[in-house]
Chains A and B, each alone.
Chain A
Amino acid sequence: DGGITQSPKYLFRKEGQNVTLSCEQNLNHDAMYWYRQDPGQGLRLIYYSQIVNDFQKGDIAEGYSVSREKKESFPLTVTSAQKNPTAFYLCASAPGGATGELFFGEGSRLTVL
């Protein structure tokens, strides 16, 4: 079945450690996005990518890094520079060239101890 897969679903890390969240899609979508959601808050855009080997910063990119080496993959690294990394991270994809819905993964819940 086509879809978008995030892993891991839950992750616990010690303060100061870098963490990489995986996002894979088999929908052949050009655009991919990473959002962060804090309790009771809306989604905030971290990074987005329109095509392979290209990505743009969103509203809260500081302390995060991404890569887009393959069309189907858009991993997010939460670095030790991110001051408050504990959050719910959502990856999404969308077909390029036309407006349409975003397809979300089930999310990764990161807790930094």
Chain B
Amino acid sequence: RKEVEQDPGPFNVPEGATVAFNCTYSNSASQSFFWYRQDCRKEPKLLMSVYSSGNEDGRFTAQLNRASQYISLLIRDSKLSDSATYLCVVNGKTSYDKVIFGPGTSLSVIP
């Protein structure tokens, strides 16, 4: 089993739609979780951290379920500019630990 798995995608959604991405991780000792965004042929950039209580940043909502070892990202009112690949990232307790990236889920928002 891979350490971090994501919905394979691609997701093609119309502008204004709500879309949700799922991610599961295998190491129950994992401590920190993130969603990154990667545009085509560019480096990944942090979208948001994922906290145990869930957190929201504008149109983006992230959830963590430690019992099920599951992370989600919800995007509301999709914009054309949201088109990108979304990467789920799992880390240990500190930045000294190995950082594991999921394979990513591709999103295309269509006019």
Show the binding face of A for B, using Cβ within 8 Å: 29-31, 33, 35, 41-43, 45, 48, 50, 56, 58, 88, 90, 92, 94-102, 104-107
Contacts and interface: CB of A to CB of B under 8 A. Distances in A.
Interface residues of B, number: 25
Contacts of B95: 29-31, 94-100
Given A45-B98, A99-B94, 18 more contacts: A30-B96, A35-B101, A41-B103, A42-B87, A42-B101, A42-B102, A42-B103, A43-B44, A90-B43, A92-B99, A99-B95, A101-B46, A102-B89, A102-B99, A104-B45, A105-B43, A106-B42, A106-B43
A24 B41 CA distance: 20
By Cβ-Cβ distance, the 4 closest A-B pairs, closest first, are: A42-B103, A99-B32, A104-B43, A94-B95
B100 interface: yes
Interface of A is mostly: loop
B100 A45 contact: yes
Nearest to A99: B32
Contacts of A92: 99
Interface string B68-87: 00000000000000000001
B53 to A, nearest CB: 16
B102 to A, nearest CB: 6
Given A42-B103, A43-B101, A31 B96 contact: yes
B31 interface: yes
Nearest to A35: B101
Contacts of B32: 99
Chain A CB within 10 Å, residue with most, of B89, B99, B100: B99
Nearest to A90: B43
